Structure 1
Amino acid sequence: MTIAMGWSTRSPRIRYPELIATYGGDTLWAAMVYWLLAWWRPRVPWPVRAPAALCIATAVEFSQLYQAPWIVALRDNPVAALVLGQGFLWTDLVCYAVGVAGAALIDALLLTKQPLPEMEHT
């Protein structure tokens, strides 16, 4: 469902508000990374998966600064472009944090029902 929603933000047939059209795909891409980790390692709790997903998404974003001819050619493939991205943007890092946090919150509250950490009151 996350992948379908992300693709829909790039569809010219569906008109989303500008904020969603601009940042929704990147936000949902990071959520997808979280869900893939949850599928791959279901016994790992969300407080471990969330930082791992954010690290993976951030590493992929920073890899876009690497512009060797072989990887530029690879990114010309539409599937590889969806996975690896096209160009580094600082705003994508914010999208990734929001996407991972949203997926982890859904996971914690609705799916695994793992408790959220207690907040200290000062």
Structure 2
Amino acid sequence: MKPYSASAPNKYRSRTLCAAAFVLTLAAGYFSRKVHLFPAALGKYPGDALWALMVYWLIVCVRPTLSIPKSALITFAISVAIEFLKLVQTPWLVAARHSKFGALIFGHVFSWNNIIAYAVGVAIGAALDYFFLRRRQIDET
């Protein structure tokens, strides 16, 4: 058995498991704001980290053969782009942000701290992905 490489494209990711992880992360993110799953001292940032983790699972569900670093980079780029989009105040985008769905996707206020939370969420996704891919590869060999 050759050693596992996180940077090599893989064939071990299951779309079903990625979709399940997406749904679980979506639910955890939603409930983190409604039920306060995390200590109040962390503020809303666990929800932001979960949002980025949810995007990570969506990316690897759509493209299961992407390497972990590419998946992480794409996820982080999307998260940062959406964060900077908060600085754009066109009427249609402001209107979209005032809908429930638009607020969940785009948010309202730009914050550098959100970008840090996104990085944490992406790192957690990459670590979980590595752990489960590596474990699955070992189980199948």
One fold, TM greater than 0.5? yes
Q: Which AA in structure 2 matches 1:47?
A: P
TM-score by length of 2: 0.75
List 4+ stretches of structure 1 deviating above 3 A.
13-16
Structure 2 spans left out of the alignment, 5+ residues? 1-23, 136-141
Percent identity of the aligned residues? 39
Q: CA deviation at 1:40?
A: 0.4
Q: What are the residue-to-residue correspondences of 1:1-122 with 2, within 5 Å?
A: 1-11=24-34, 13-14=35-36, 16-110=38-132, 112-113=133-134
CA distance in 2, matches of 1:16, 1:70: 33
TM-score by length of 1: 0.86
For the 8 Å contact 1:10–1:21, the answer to whether it is kept is no
Structure 1 spans left out of the alignment, 5+ residues? 115-122
What SS does the corresponding residue of 1:58 show, helix, strand or coil?
A: helix
CA distance in 1, matches of 2:68, 2:114: 22
Q: CA deviation at 1:41?
A: 0.1
For the 8 Å contact 2:38–2:46, the answer to whether it is kept is no
CA distance in 1, matches of 2:97, 2:42: 24
For the 8 Å contact 2:31–2:37, the answer to whether it is kept is no
